[in-house]
Amino acid sequence: MMLCSLSLKNIKKSIKDYAIYFFTLILGVAIFYVFNALESQTVMMQVSSSTQELIDLMMTMLSSVSVFVSFILGFLIIYASRFLIKRRNKEFGIYLTLGMSKRKISMILFFETLFIGILSLVVGLGIGVILSQFMSLVVANMFEANLTKFAFVFSKQACIKTIIYFSIMYLFVMIFNTFSVSKCKLIDLLYGSKKSEAIKLKNPLLCIIVFIGAVIILGRAYYIVTNEFTTLQEVQDIIKPIIMGVLSTFLIFWSLSGLLLRVCKSIKSYYYKGLNSFTLRQFSSKINTTVVSTTVICLMLFITICLLSSCLTMKNSMNANIKELAPADVMFTVNMNMDKYHDNYRHYGYNDSQIQNSHYTSKEMFELFDFDITSYLKDYIEVNTYATPDLTMNHTLGSKLDSVRTNFPFLNYDTMESIMKISDYNKVAKFYGTEEYSLNSDEYMIIADFKSMVNIRNIALENGEVINLFGHTLKPKYEECQDGFLEMSSNHINSGIILVADDIVNEEYLVQNYLIGNYKTSNKEEIMKIENNINALGKEEKANIYLLPSGSTKLSIKEATTGLSAMVTFIGLYLGVIFLISSTAILGLKELSESSDNKERFIILRKIGTDEKMINRALFRQIAIFFMLPLLLAIIHSVFGLMFAMDILEVFGNEQLLPSIIMTAIFIVFIYGGYFLITYYSSKNIIKEKY
Confidence check: pLDDT of 614 > 50? yes
Confidence check: pLDDT of 145 > 50? yes
485 CB neighbour count, 10 Å cutoff: 21
Confidence check: pLDDT of 286 > 80? no
Of residues 35, 5, 208, the one with CA closest to residue 111? 5
71 CB neighbour count, 10 Å cutoff: 10
pLDDT in tens, 494-515: 889 999 999 999 988 999 999 9
Of residues 338, 343, 309, 365, the one with CA closest to residue 537? 365
Looking at the fold, whether 331 and 189 belong to one and the same domain comes out as no
Domain of 120 in residue numbering reads as: 1-193
pLDDT given at position 600: 74
Kindly indicate the confidence band of residue 323, based on its pLDDT and cuts at 50, 70 and 90: confident
200 CB neighbour count, 10 Å cutoff: 10
DSSP annotation of 482: B
Judge whether 138 lies within some domain. yes
> How many structural domains compose the chain?
2
- For residues 15-35, give the mean pLDDT: 76
pLDDT given at position 348: 62
Which of 552, 581, 605 is at the close of a domain? 552
DSSP annotation of 76: H
Contacts of 577 (CB under 8 A, 6+ apart): 31, 671
Judge whether 606 lies within some domain. no
Confidence check: pLDDT of 163 > 80? yes
Judge whether 649 lies within some domain. no
Judge whether 274 lies within some domain. no
Judge whether 69 lies within some domain. yes
Confidence check: pLDDT of 431 > 90? yes
Minimum mean pLDDT among 45-49, 52-56, 161-165, 302-306: which range? 45-49
Cα 539 to Cα 518: distance, rounded to the nearest angstrom: 25
Which of 109-113, 351-355, 490-494, 591-595 is the most confident on average? 490-494
Looking at the fold, whether 187 and 335 belong to one and the same domain comes out as no
Which of 193, 226, 254 is at the close of a domain? 193
- For residues 1-29, give the mean pLDDT: 67
Report yes or no: 653 and 317 within 8 Å, Cβ to Cβ: yes
274 CB neighbour count, 10 Å cutoff: 13
Of residues 575, 590, 681, the one with CA closest to residue 627? 590
Minimum mean pLDDT among 77-81, 160-164, 495-499: which range? 77-81
Confidence check: pLDDT of 520 > 60? yes
Judge whether 675 lies within some domain. no
Which of 178, 193, 208 is at the close of a domain? 193
Confidence check: pLDDT of 344 > 70? no
Judge whether 307 lies within some domain. no
Confidence check: pLDDT of 196 > 70? no
pLDDT in tens, 550-569: 888 888 887 777 777 777 77
pLDDT given at position 102: 65
Identify which has the larger pLDDT, 655 or 390.
390
Judge whether 683 lies within some domain. no
pLDDT given at position 691: 43
Report yes or no: 538 and 371 within 8 Å, Cβ to Cβ: no
